[in-house]
Homo-oligomer: A and B are copies of this chain.
Amino acid sequence: MPSKVPDGQRRGWIIPIGGSENKENDRRILERFVSVSGGEDADIVVIPAASRMHETGSRYEQVFRDIGAERVTVMDFDTRRDCHETGRLERLDQASGIFFTGGNQLRLTTLLGGTPVAKLIRHRNAHGVTVGGTSAGASILSEHMIAAGDEGSSLIAGTVRLAPGLGLTNRIIIDQHFRQRDRLGRLLTALAYNPFAVGVGLDEDTAVFISPEEILEVEGSGGVTIVDGSDVSHSSIDKVGDGQPVCMLGLRLHILIAGATFNLNTHLAAAPGLQQSKE
């Protein structure tokens, strides 16, 4: 379960990005990340631990500085022991925004899972700090994380592997590079196991900004596929073997673009500039 928000306080923004967000001529996603992290006063910690490429952290450091964040620090982790180190914890405790780069989400969870760093990030988000990430860094934000899976648009048993994520929210299951890597099938399969969650499929250069009120708003140039399992009447995934098609009835599907919203409390979707509507 996500950390409890203290009385009188607001949860921080949660910002999963679908990967390959524009860092050059139209940086609206990263600009808005800085904006909801304090704007000119933003103090951002970039965690590039998912990536094995040396330049990943410094690239984001430069972009966030260019956008106008007051302070940016790249904080890497090579071992789980690093996640107990006091200096890093103190620096994280100062941040107004925490950003996970892309890479391999299992590298992030195996390094950070259950450590003081993971606990602190959950705690800080519950106290108003913005936490976001792109690609693998988006996947890990939720309680139930897609660790791996097959490409394809169909619901086939055994095509997805779930693992525990960082757990900032347990209402959604996130997938990224969604259109580009054809991942609807594995997202549907994840929901077939337990339809309680809302599936959020993020195209590249596309993000959802989840507000403290748990209203998700799309930003960026692509689409976001919302698969709402809350009215599912039947899933046969308990009865079929791996590789077999699965029967699932009663999903609700919304295709959102920039400015469209989905309310995680009421499950109402709304077009840009329009009233929220369940149907």
Instruction: Report A's interface with B, CB cutoff 8 A.
Output: 152-155, 178-179, 182-185, 188, 203, 221-223, 225, 227, 231-234, 236, 245-257, 260, 269-272, 274, 277-279
A269 contacts which chain B residues (CB < 8 A)?
A: 233, 249-250
Interface of chain A, helix or strand or loop or mixed? loop
Inter-chain contact A250/B227, CB cutoff 8 Å: no
Distance, CA A183 to CA B254, complexed state (A)? 17
Distance, CA A272 to CA B223, complexed state (A)? 34
Copies of this protein in the assembly total 2
A233 contacts which chain B residues (CB < 8 A)?
A: 269, 271, 277, 279
Distance, CA A245 to CA B260, complexed state (A)? 12
A270 contacts which chain B residues (CB < 8 A)?
A: 249
A279 contacts which chain B residues (CB < 8 A)?
A: 231-233, 249-250
17 contacts between A and B (CB under 8 A): A152-B179, A154-B203, A154-B222, A154-B223, A188-B255, A203-B245, A223-B245, A232-B279, A233-B277, A233-B279, A249-B254, A249-B256, A249-B277, A250-B252, A250-B254, A251-B253, A251-B255
Inter-chain contact B271/A247, CB cutoff 8 Å: yes
Inter-chain contact A179/B153, CB cutoff 8 Å: yes
Look across to chain B and name the residue whose beta carbon is closest to the beta carbon of A244: B257
A272 contacts which chain B residues (CB < 8 A)?
A: 247
User: Which of B203, B257, B277 is within 8 Å of A246, CB to CB?
Assistant: B257
